[in-house]
Amino acid sequence: MEIEITTAVGGIPDEGELRALRDWLMLESPRPGAMSIRPATAGAEDMGAAADALTVAVGSGGAITVLAGAIRTWIQTRRQTVRMVIRRPGGVELEIDAGVKDPDAMIEKFLKVASKE
């Protein structure tokens, strides 16, 4: 399964934070599957800034748990409030930030549902 993650600070897409997340995940052991930054593509009818997305290939079970824990730790270490949107196949989204209680459990549940679909 491939998911997309976008980051924003103050409601504005933040490519720096997205790259910082990718770099953080690259240091994880075990590391998530293939990762890449997908450039934003804004259509003529879109308003506002388009957001680049980090695509991450995710297996099931333990890989989801590791990814969820890594995201929780990363988002809690940010100096500014970063809002993250995780989009799974089918377009279903989960929005989180450092204020979310137990974000790793929320992310894990969100992704495990998708891995069974």
Using the structure block, give the residue that is written with the tokens 């770099």: 23
Task: Tell me the CA distances in angstroms from 101 to 32, 72, 76, 86, 97, one per residue in order.
Answer: 23, 10, 11, 16, 9
Could you tell me which of 5, 42, 3 has the C-alpha nearest to residue 24?
A: 5
Q: How much is the pTM?
A: 0.85
The whole-angstrom separation of Cα 113 and Cα 22 is 23
Using the structure block, give the residue that is written with the tokens 């500014």: 80
- Whether pLDDT at 98 is above 80: yes
Residue 42: the pLDDT is 62
* pLDDT digits 0-9 by tens, 65-94: 888 999 999 998 998 899 999 998 888 999
Residue 86: the pLDDT is 94
